[in-house]
Structure 1
């Protein structure tokens, strides 16, 4: 029979053996972790492609005629003919209107008669002056008679000049009865029909606008202007021919003619922060009409080639943007980059990449510098400028 003291000693021995067993025997989870290490994270990488990157500046622009003329009557009379149809293309010198010339023809005839009369009077006074000079030389007439003859001749000569000037004016007014086109272009509708009395106070008879070439005016941003001026100041003169100008019409189609910059204003509007600029476009088919609005795009003719990375590969912190590059032994490293224009679903990289590198595009959030990864190839970046 076991006494109380012996029972207590037996129980303490059993507890001690159990404690040793718990310390020295590994658990099931520890046995499993020792047999299987944590694998590197899986990521998807893509090769950086080099593409032509276009980043056009776009402006809302208005079409203007380079030349525009309001046709007006310079003499008063009744319209006898209108020698054009509304909307017709006209050339410089084409007859547009005719004003009845009868009254002005009579004025020309009267002025010619006045010229003939004045010329006859001048010749008579000239002969009288010549005789009196001869008589004065022989002391036959007095000095006073000679002076009177000289004065009569001077008056007659002046009257002849006045008559000749009146004739020129009458002939000029007669020529105004035939109204011609001062410029080439498209003429609008006639504001007066045949039979109406017109004159200098009648206003515009019709309007001609030149359509080919045609001007497009737009407000250039101050920032773009400053950039252009800085290029000039750094020794790289701003060449208008180095830019490609294109238009998008109101129906969404692209205009098929390229333009050129004609003029940039030398003052910035303080209210809008823009500067007025003008471009010129060929318009052989008269698609562009003065007053309409278009979208003007300006870009460099020589489109640069830049590396393009997918948007999903780019991260940003306080220092700027960066990507993770896949290096040797499947390790990743950060690379700081500067981005430019958006290209489809990616960014053009101005500094930091040369093209051909492999960047991580998926699984990027759990990466750190120098981490080993399990890479797999993704689809190349699709899209272009």
Structure 2
């Protein structure tokens, strides 16, 4: 029955009163739907708030990363100002003492050493006997030469008597003039033979005198290379070649090589202070006696000779010494910079300075190396700001952030802070400039 109503169908199957509860069920469903809507809205709000927080944090992190990247991109450097060299400039040079006269002594005649009289360390006077050489062959040659001379002298006497006799006969016209001339020529020939014999005798006597080795001057025997029975040859080509070495030590001399930059300020008569490590606290005063007057093109140095009195013999020839020369007369004091502020490039030696926050490279001429500092002859002014420990990649026009390098507390003299300016920075004991990774890295390289 298609037209049957809902009430009739319900009554037919035994369901009664369902229509009475439909309103209550609809109200509950509406309430549940409302609660679901509010719950969904709350979830959406929470999710939106979380998304907003995440986006805000990401934006802040992006801004921080951008700022950090920009900060890290900056090159932070330490700068110092060049300093003038303080006080009178002193030139320290190494040298080796040597005797005022040092002579190797060789034999003038060949033979065996008969006896030596002076050993190393012996002080001798001029003419003192040092050694004797046995020269039996020369003695025999001398005896033969003297015998020949006596024979020639007898012939000379006979020739002279014969000439005088023939001269008298010629006056009586008993002999011819030719016969007289022959007797005269015979006399002259014998006279020449006698002169030759005399020369041979004198030569052998002189050669025999060389068997006595004597001191050519007063001094000290510093070497003895022979012993009794040693075979020596005349000259310096035999074995052993050298007999003695004699040195005059009352006055010593030494030669030093002054750099070309100081050559114009070194003059004869200038005082020189000599010190030895073996004699601490003692200074010996010498005098510049002469210079080479020319620069050695191989070393670019000037050879300087210094004489040093040594009356008490305290200084020994051959000693290594330090010589201090006062480089007076300079037109103006030179500037000094830390040696960790130099750049060595193909175009020469450069320094990096900061001008209006940008790098400016300057070519300089170096002077003396003072250890942790070095002299600059030209190319810098006292107003320049020099970058210390510049990176190898630094180029002209680079933008940098410059800060004054902290000075160590114990830096009281010029020239002692060049190698220490970055040491304390790396240790973190001094005030640091603006933050940045470059400056601590540079300080660390300086400390190493």
- Bin the TM-score by the shorter chain: 0.5 to 0.7
Partner of 2:284: 257
Q: 1:180 to 1:117 in 2, by over 3 A?
A: same
Q: Is the 8 A contact 1:244 1:301 kept in 2?
A: no
SS of the equivalent of 2:195 reads helix
Instruction: Extract unaligned runs of 5+ from structure 2.
Output: 1-85, 330-354, 356-379, 385-410, 415-448
CA distance in 1 between counterparts of 2:202 and 2:92 reads 56
Q: Is the 8 A contact 2:256 2:304 kept in 1?
A: yes
Partner of 1:245: 272
SS of the equivalent of 1:172 reads helix
The structure, 1 or 2, with the larger RCO (C-alpha pairs under 8 Å, 6+ apart) is 1
SS of the equivalent of 1:268 reads strand
CA distance in 1 between counterparts of 2:191 and 2:153 reads 8
Partner of 1:110: 144
User: How does 1:186-205 map onto structure 2 within 5 Å?
Assistant: 186-200=220-234, 201-202=238-239, 203-205=241-243
Q: Is the 8 A contact 2:265 2:327 kept in 1?
A: no
CA distance in 1 between counterparts of 2:149 and 2:199 reads 9
Partner of 2:247: 209
Aligned-pair CA distance for 1:165: 0.7
CA distance in 2 between counterparts of 1:175 and 1:209 reads 23
Provide the alpha-carbon RMSD of the alignment: 2.9
Query: Given the alignment, which residue of 119, 134, 148 partners 1:85?
Result: 119
SS of the equivalent of 1:265 reads strand
Q: 1:92 to 1:129 in 2, by over 3 A?
A: same
Partner of 1:299: 326
Partner of 2:216: 182
User: How does 1:70-81 map onto structure 2 within 5 Å?
Assistant: 70-81=104-115
CA distance in 2 between counterparts of 1:196 and 1:320 reads 70
Once the two structures are overlaid, the 10-residue window that deviates more, 247-256 or 184-193, is: 247-256
Q: Is the 8 A contact 1:212 1:282 kept in 2?
A: yes
Partner of 1:267: 294
Q: How many residues align?
A: 252
**TM-score (normalised: structure 1):** 0.59
Q: Is the 8 A contact 1:246 1:255 kept in 2?
A: no
Q: 1:154 to 1:254 in 2, by over 3 A?
A: farther
CA distance in 2 between counterparts of 1:261 and 1:94 reads 32
Q: Is the 8 A contact 1:247 1:254 kept in 2?
A: no
- Once the two structures are superposed, what CA deviation does each residue of 1:254-304 show, in whole Å capped at 9, x if it has no partner? 5443111111002111232211111000123434333332110122899xx
CA distance in 2 between counterparts of 1:321 and 1:214 reads 47
CA distance in 1 between counterparts of 2:328 and 2:129 reads 44
- Once the two structures are superposed, what CA deviation does each residue of 1:118-151 show, in whole Å capped at 9, x if it has no partner? 1221122122122222222332111221121112
